[in-house]
Amino acid sequence: MKAKILKGMGKEFAKDIGYVVGQAAMKGIGYPIFGALSHNLKSRLEDKLGDKWFKSEDATIVNMLVNLVAYPAAAAIPTYHATHDVRTAIAIIGGFALALAEATFRNDYYSRAYPASLLGKMASLPFDYVTWLYDRAKRKVEEEK
């Protein structure tokens, strides 16, 4: 009897641990990546996964903060390997300025939506186009009824 209770408790504990680890992985790995995607794609993810697993606003903010480090690093590493001089510092400043300008645009331009970063928009553009076509066809079918 005790073995069955302990076995059941072990399953529940494993399920809870899996839930916590899955949520932490989604927020730690997924937010910086998914936060760059278009608002359309993020809102669909939020609808499918729910608020506990994905929040569009939080993902956008995390992505903007990650970009403040990633853009200067992406600019500095190839510059440093090619030149080994002051141009590396200029590349770091340029990358940081680009990330800051993008964060300012994303924060101010759309007050009701959470827009994509430039790279995220390019990555999610095919999906946005297909969903736009699907929604358009769905509206036409509904209008014909």
| 3-state per-residue secondary structure call for 37-60 | CCHHHHHHHHHHHCCCCCCHHHHH
Our measurement of the distance from residue 122's CA atom to the centroid of its chain's CA atoms, rounded to an integer in Å, reads 13
Q: How many CB atoms lie within 10 A of CB 60?
A: 26
| CA 102 – CA 108 distance, rounded (Å) | 10
User: Residues 35-55: pLDDT tens digits?
Assistant: 888 888 888 888 888 888 888
pLDDT score of 101: 86
| CA 134 – CA 139 distance, rounded (Å) | 9
User: Residues 75-99: pLDDT tens digits?
Assistant: 888 888 888 888 888 888 888 998 8
Task: Tell me the average pLDDT across 102-129.
Answer: 76
Q: How many CB atoms lie within 10 A of CB 38?
A: 22
Domain enclosing residue 35, as ranges: 2-144
| CA 33 – CA 35 distance, rounded (Å) | 5
Q: Which of 135, 97, 132, 117 is nearest to 34 (CA)?
A: 117
Q: Give the chain's domain count.
A: 1
Select the more confidently predicted residue: 145 or 6. 145
The fraction of the chain above a pLDDT of 90, given in percent, is 7
DSSP three-state, residue 1: coil
